[in-house]
Structure 1
Amino acid sequence: MDRLDSEILGILQQDARISYRDLGVRVGLSANAAADRVRRMRRDGVIRGFTTVVDPAADTRGGLLVFIDVTLRLDTGNDEFERAIAKLPGITEAVHVTGAHDYIVRARAADPAALDSLLRRLKTEAGVAQSNTRIALRAANRGGPSGQALSPP
């Protein structure tokens, strides 16, 4: 297993139903190359089945779960930003929002150094002018208003 395989596993743990096309975009491969890697990992027993983790506390990958409020530079458009973050490791979701910021980005970082690297890349590669980062400490409520499970990180 190499770095790309590990990255693919992390993405599949977040969204087991992701298309090979989207998976390939996220890791910088073609859909066919991403599919080949997944098939090889299944054949080798690295992947035994597909399930999306719903409980953040059950996520065994460790590291930091972070939420990053992002304000784009004036010369950066939404499409450009979204294409750029698809290539960055650890980002699991980006939501375009109203209010003081343009996006809320959910990401995983192995440690503070990896988080620092991600924040620097957001600014240099994705057109981010300003960011505010929050680190998740724990999930205090595992159900929504009607007891529904929270969406995966």
Structure 2
Amino acid sequence: MTARTTPPHIDEVSKAIIELLQEDGRRSYAEIGKSVGLSEAAVRQRVQKLTESGVMQIVAVTDPLQLGFLRQAMIGITVSGDTRQVAEALAALPAVDYVVLTAGSFDILAEVVCESDDDLLALLNSEIRSIDGVRSTETFVYLKLHKQLYNWGTR
């Protein structure tokens, strides 16, 4: 998802739809319609507009460990030059699932999911550190994921 300079106006009904889908992304449009006072077709249209505009995505959230990805890490990256170009190059890497430009000690934070420590090492040395403009990296290996939620709501 990309940030918008002017967020679209989201009315209370659309916010309620979003929150219901955050609780259960498989909830039927008919069930949502009953909760928010709309027809199934009207809910379908609103969900389509919300997804097409980039306000929300409906995806299956997986547990990387259950899928055989035994190493996750956050990588702090210091850049010389245009941080946006480095961010684009990072975003194109399949192992990278999160890229954000930051202010502070690092110019970019990138979260990665790898099958092993060897894969993480190869990713760092062969791919990330070889990107033009990457000056240095610091890797924060995840020992245990304590909390990760996607239901922060709309209010």
TM-score by length of 1: 0.52
Aligned length: 94
* 2:126 paired with 1:118: no
How big is the shift at 1:140? Answer: 2.1
Distance 1:113 1:77, change over 3 A: same
Distance 1:61 1:99, change over 3 A: same
Matched residue, 2:60: 52
Distance 1:69 1:114, change over 3 A: same
CA contact (8 A) 1:88 1:118 kept: no
Percent identity between the two aligned chains: 18
Which residues of 2 match residues 88-99 of structure 1 at below 5 A? Answer: 88-99=93-104
Aligned mate of 1:107, from 101, 112, 118:
112
Distance 1:52 1:59, change over 3 A: farther
Distance 1:60 1:79, change over 3 A: same
- Amino acid across the alignment from 1:90: A
Kindly name which structure, 1 or 2, has the bigger radius of gyration based on alpha carbons: 2
For structure 2, list consecutive stretches of 5 or more residues without a partner in the other structure: 1-57
Q: CA RMSD in A?
A: 2.6
How big is the shift at 1:125? Answer: 2.1
For structure 1, list consecutive stretches of 5 or more residues without a partner in the other structure: 1-49
Structure 2 SS opposite 1:125: coil
* 2:77 paired with 1:79: no
- Amino acid across the alignment from 2:106: H
